[in-house]
Amino acid sequence: QSALTQPASVSGSLGQSITISCTGTSSDVGSYKYISWYQHHPGKAPRLMIYEVSDRPSGVSDRFSGSKSGNTASLTISGLQAEDEADYYCNSFTSSGTLVFGGGTKLTVL
Amino acid sequence: QVQLVQSGSELKKPGASVRVSCEASGYTLSRHSINWVRQVPGQGLEWMGWIDTNTGTPTYARDFTGRFVFSLGTSVNTAYLQINSLKVDDTAVYYCARDLAIGRLDTWGQGTLVTVSS
């Protein structure tokens, strides 16, 4: 199972919005609602930000939102804050009954 | 408070084995599967597989078959990852994570650094 495709890096200014894409295939992203997003600060444990395409766990800011169109899922962060600077990973269920992560996107807040 | 606490860093020689533990607290391990995730230094997260904590049945990602073994403790709320015939390329941080539903990894261990070096 190949990793899902994410941009290596994105950047945005404080207060702006950014979107991170996550492209898979009809065998994963395109066929299932089981898409999740994780925030990972180096040296810490990853944190679940979005599950089932667009649902937010309790405690996650509503500045984080998720969507999906075809084989591409997206994570949007609005009102960028300094603490949003981190690596972000998408994850999808696959037709093999496994999970697969994206390659990760480094978000820089300017 | 739901927590997963992993064992400490390990330094091993090539060819040796290592076992990483993941102890659950605040909930019963058997209620949700445990997933294992690897991060090689400087690289992204890789899903290694999961273990059904009810039946003990493991499922491995394609790249983690053979030398990697997921198991459960017999009397404690603990899951284990064992890596046999260690290679230098196995040097990484290994995470366990609770799966509330399909791919909903809501609680993560703090990570265990395994260093393989001669």
pLDDT over 90 at B59, yes or no: yes
Task: Report CB contact under 8 Å: B109, A45.
Answer: yes
Q: Which residue of A has its CA nearest to B3?
A: A45
pLDDT category at B58 given cuts 50, 70, 90 is very high
Interface of B with A (CB under 8 A): 35, 37, 44-47, 49-50, 59, 61-62, 95, 97, 101-106, 108-111
Residue B74 pLDDT level (bands cut at 50, 70, 90): confident
Is residue A91 within 8 angstroms of chain B, CB to CB? yes
Chain A residues touching B103 at Cβ < 8 A:
34-36, 51, 91-93, 99
Q: How confident is the model at residue B76 (pLDDT cuts 50, 70, 90)?
A: confident
Interchain contact A97–B (C-beta under 8 A) = yes
Three-state SS letters, B34-96? EEEEEECCCCCEEEEEEECCCCCCEEECHHHCCCEEEEECCCCCEEEEEECCCCHHHCEEEEE
Query: In sequence order, what are the residues at sequence separation of 6 or more whose Cβ sits closer than 8 angstroms to the Cβ of residue B72?
Result: B29, B51, B53, B56, B78, B79, B80
List, for residues A38-48, the tens digit of each pLDDT value: 999 999 999 99
Please give the average per-residue pLDDT across A4-29, as a whole number. Answer: 97
Cβ contact (<8 Å) for B105 and A91?
yes
* B110 contact residues in A (CB cutoff 8 A): 45
Chain CA centroid to CA B4, Å: 11
Across the range B65-75, mean pLDDT stands at: 92
Residue range B61-65: mean pLDDT, rounded: 95
Question: B49 contacts in A (CB within 8 Å)?
Answer: 98
Cα–chain-centroid distance for residue A101? 10
Whether residue A102 is predicted with pLDDT greater than 80 in this model: the reply is yes
Nearest 5°: CA angle at A43, between A42 and A49? 60
pLDDT of residue A2: 81
Taking only the tens place, the pLDDT of each residue in B26-53 is: 999 999 999 999 999 999 999 999 999 9
Decide if A7 touches B, using CB distance below 8 A: no
